[in-house]
A and B are shown apart, each in its own frame.
Chain A
Amino acid sequence: MIRIEYETQRLSLRFFMVMLVLFFFQTGFGLLLAAQHIDPTLLAGTLNFNVVRAEHTNLGILWVLSGFIATILFVGPLLSKRELAAAWLIKVLFYALLAVVAWNVATQALAQQGVAGWWMGQPLLQEGLEYLEAGRIADVVILIGFAILCYVVLRTFPPLSQWNEIHWGLGLGVLALTLVWVFGMFFVERLDLQEYFRWYVVHYWVEGVWEVIHIALVGFLLVLMFKADVKSVGFAVFWGISLVWLSGLLGNAHHYFWIGTPEFWQFWGSLFSALEPLPLVFCFWHIYLDAHQDGKPIANMPAFAFLLGSVVLEQVGAGILGFTMTFALTNVWSHGTWVTLSHAHLALFGTFGMLGLSAAYFAVPVMRGATDFDQRPGRLAFWLVFTGMLGLAFAFAIGGTVQVFVYRTLGLDWFGGDVAPAMLFAKAMVPVFGIVFAAGVCLLAYDLLTLGLRERPAARDDTALPAPAGWGRRLSGWETGMWLLAMWVFGAVITLGLLSFNLHTVQQGSALFPYLIGGIGYPGLLLVTLFFVRRFLRSLEARGRVSLVPLELTAMPSPAGAA
């Protein structure tokens, strides 16, 4: 695609821009959190850790949502083959988003004074629950915003009888987005019941809703990027969504192990959430197939890199790292420690954040009429945020393993005296990789904000492309399978490392097994991930050099047989 087909697609641009600004500030708050972890007295009493963290998690959710909204608005008309319905409502949605962001950022600081704005039993200003820190006023505005999004999407779509599987995915996704949000809008007296419903929002959002929207949007972006057939991609989207919901509905049980709900949840949670990676493997395989259905050069490398990053980090962060801590016997140790941070950062930023960034790199040049834009900053920014985030996941995982041992196995609970000093090395690694990540964020935010507005660079230099040999040779299905296998082998190693905390020798105070196994598993998994993405992208970049050479189509795996 080189230009806009429907005028209302342009409405997505402002949401992409807001997404970038919020992402920038979220990263800034993240760096501040990393600094406060190293020096807990930093800004204590002025800007307490819990306030900074609330801003960090809230902005994280808000910018991912902005990315979703932007992407849906951009692809909505293409999917429906007509202009968006009720363009004025989308403008209302935009200002509502800005208002909610400003309001929410301001009200979170009230937690320092213990002000929640209780009225009729509900906290109006902020409610102090992880991920759902927004107070009731913001909740209501957000609900209205979701309702507007639903209305616009469903009114824009063709009649139900003409829906393909991507329509179904997006339609159900936006409806569920709105529905699930309602479960976070009540004050619940019982802690166990409150946590039960809090995970309705948090788990069903990421696992039930965001994942569905993600699959549908990845599918359609692949259609746009590779001219893949809508019907076959749609069929894969159907299977992806079915697997997500069939594993994820009961998979939510892995949040109900230790919150005061009965023991039987440990069985259901361990069983069904172990199935949650299935749709992610499926999605991973499909991006390989779709990227290799022909050998044409990739026109927009940053957009594809972020899309690949999204699917790969979904596999690694959500799929594999989620799998390692989903069993009651491993979760009993990982729960409530930095080990979970490693999973959360890779899964949330990787899967959903990178999708929004991919869509932005695809859509912004089209809307600004700059499809021959300089792709170098985008590619560099991808590598900075990708390696930065893998490094952060590494630091969190190592810090978490130490934390489990010191805090849970030895039972030392003096965070300032015992736990934090033991974790200091990992805590120091966080800002190091955080700065790499932040550099990438600054670069991509600058690049996308000014893309098409700043002066065009000289024509692209194709000699910089890699030769189609070594890292640049064609990536076969077999090789991709081996990379995937290697990731899962290291995932199994990590699982064993967490399981080893149950061993008698570890319980007696020897950290050897968990440290050794974790020290192999985490770097192994993250390095395989890093090298796989490099290998994948190099092989695609090399197509620019071989685009005139006829390809051996027989060497490609048949999509039907492989999937």
Chain B
Amino acid sequence: MSCKPGEPCHEGVKRRRALAVLGLMAIIFVALSAVSFLGSRGQAVPAAVHYAGFDAVQGKRVFQSYNCMGCHTIVGNGAYFGPDLTKLYGKVGPAWIEAFLPSAGSWPTSGAVKLQLQDKAIAAEAGVDTIEAYLEKYPAAAERIARRGAHATLMPNLPLSRDEIGQLIAFLKYTSEMNTEGWPPTPRVDGLAFPQATPLPAPVRQAALQPAEEAGAAAAGPASAAAHGAELAEDNGCTACHAKDRERLVGPGWGGLYGSEVALADGTTVAADDAYLAQSILDPDARIVAGFEPGAMPSFAEMLDAGQVAAIVAYIRSLGEK
């Protein structure tokens, strides 16, 4: 493979031969490629996947718009800052992702997932309509709620709209249905039993797994409605979107809210009294605060009774002076 000065090296002939072999390689490559995308393979395609009326192709656009691949991986490609998303939908189910995405800065609690299951379309996609059945069907969601519920995540809150969230979940449903030839490999052991897993104290784990009402009822006492409200707010996932101070996370901060004048999207103002706050919990879209989108917050009418709403309002009132 050397050619000394002055020797005839027949470069032209060799170059043509190399190009011929290269052409053969290209034919093999093109043939393999053509076979790879035949419809008869039965590979999932996004055009055929829908989630609660949302389109997986639109979801792929959302996925690219937010450069999700810049932190996560998908089919193993991307950055390695966050976990791979390919099989997430199948593991944690739609209601957990629905609870997570609007307020990505904190991990969903069981109350927040339960709230999503009130939505018939989400429950239909999940195939179950109670939180107990959901956690049984999606053990990865149960594990996440138990270990991480209500903790801060390392992901920033993103300005995702309701539609974008639905579309993204449709895309994740599609990738979850893809045949990726056995990747990622299935673990053969329960990783939680190893010292590498962050342990949680047993009582915390149990409390987090209990449905919100029971936990709330157990803690309910006449002593302090505000303290009860604080617990309810955490259990139901309110604090994922509402900060204790004035900071805007996903929704408005609760600090200093009570008794203040709130500017509404229709240009009017309203005093943040008990009635207004209760209505905002039970029917959030009735009066939208200026600068926020309708539909961002779900209704808690099915989740909380009048006493629990009053307790949460009492908690918000207690933050009023901050």
On A, residues with C-beta under 8 Å from B are 36-37, 40-41, 44-45, 48-51, 53-54, 108, 111-116, 118, 123, 126-130, 133, 164-165, 168, 187, 189-196, 198, 229, 231-232, 234-236, 238-239, 242, 245-246, 249-250, 252-253, 256-266, 268, 282, 332-333, 335-338, 341, 403, 406-422, 507-509, 559-560, 563
Contact = CB atoms under 8 A, between A and B. Distances in A.
B18 A246 contact: yes
B131 to A, nearest CB: 21
A51 B69 CA distance: 10
B268 interface: no
A338 B80 CA distance: 7
Contact of B73 (A49, A129, A336, A508): A336
Contacts of B14: 238, 242
A333 B79 CA distance: 16
B149 to A, nearest CB: 12
B159 A113 contact: yes
A250 B29 contact: yes
B67 A232 contact: no
Contacts of A238: 11, 14-15, 18
A265 B5 CA distance: 43
Contact of B79 (A130, A192, A235, A282): A130
A362 to B, nearest CB: 23
Given A54-B70, A415-B81, A195 B75 contact: yes
A139 to B, nearest CB: 14
30 contacts: A37-B81, A40-B154, A44-B156, A111-B66, A114-B66, A116-B61, A123-B64, A130-B69, A133-B70, A189-B45, A189-B47, A189-B60, A191-B60, A191-B75, A232-B2, A235-B1, A239-B1, A246-B21, A256-B36, A262-B181, A338-B80, A411-B189, A411-B191, A412-B196, A413-B83, A414-B144, A414-B148, A415-B82, A560-B4, A563-B2
Nearest to A245: B22
B2 A236 contact: yes
B65 A282 contact: no
B207 interface: no
Given A414-B198, A507-B188, A49 B79 contact: yes
B11 A235 contact: yes
Interface string B188-208: 111110101110000000000
Contact of B67 (A50, A260, A415): A50
Given A191-B175, A231-B9, A111 B25 contact: no
B26 A249 contact: yes
A48 B80 contact: no
A337 B80 contact: yes
A143 to B, nearest CB: 20
B187 A410 contact: yes
Contacts of B2: 232, 235-236, 559-560, 563
Contact of A336 (B1, B70, B77): B77
A70 B25 CA distance: 33
B3 A232 contact: yes
A35 B4 CA distance: 53
Q: Which of A336, A408, A420 counts the most chain B CB atoms within 10 A?
A: A336
Interface in B132-150: 144, 147-148
B43 interface: yes
Nearest to B189: A509
B157 interface: yes
Contact of B156 (A48, A191, A262): A48
B34 to A, nearest CB: 11
A195 B64 CA distance: 13
B158 interface: yes
Interface string B28-59: 11001101110001011111000000000100
Nearest to A40: B154
Contacts of A111: 65-67, 70
B297 interface: no
B76 interface: yes
Contact of A341 (B47, B67, B80): B80
Contacts of B130: none
Interface residues of B, number: 84
Contact of A260 (B1, B68, B180): B180
A43 to B, nearest CB: 9
B112 to A, nearest CB: 18
A260 B70 contact: no
B260 interface: no
Give the top 9 A-B pairs by smallest Cβ distance, nearest first.
A50-B70, A411-B187, A336-B76, A410-B191, A258-B183, A128-B67, A235-B3, A128-B64, A111-B67
Nearest to A248: B25
Given A129-B64, A249-B25, A341-B80, A50 B178 contact: no
Nearest to B91: A413
A408 B187 contact: yes
Contacts of A246: 18, 21-22, 25
B191 A259 contact: no
Contacts of A236: 1-2
Contacts of A126: 67
B153 interface: yes
Nearest to B18: A242
B197 A410 contact: yes
Contacts of A165: 11, 15
Contact of A116 (B65, B158, B180, B187): B65
Contacts of A249: 22, 25-26, 29
Given A114-B62, A114-B158, A335-B76, A53 B185 contact: no
A406 B196 CA distance: 7
B217 to A, nearest CB: 30
B33 to A, nearest CB: 7
A529 to B, nearest CB: 24
B84 interface: yes
B71 interface: yes
B184 interface: yes
A266 B183 CA distance: 12
Contacts of B301: none
Interface string B9-24: 1010011001001100
B61 A50 contact: no
Contacts of A191: 46, 60, 74-75, 174-175, 178
Interface string B82-93: 111000000000
B224 interface: no
Contacts of B26: 249
Interface in B117-131: none
Contacts of B227: none
A241 to B, nearest CB: 8
B80 A336 contact: yes
B4 A232 contact: yes
B187 A409 contact: yes
A51 B66 CA distance: 10
Nearest to A232: B3
Contacts of A164: 11
Contacts of A338: 80
B37 to A, nearest CB: 6
A229 B6 CA distance: 10
A52 B4 CA distance: 50
A45 B32 contact: no
A417 B148 contact: yes
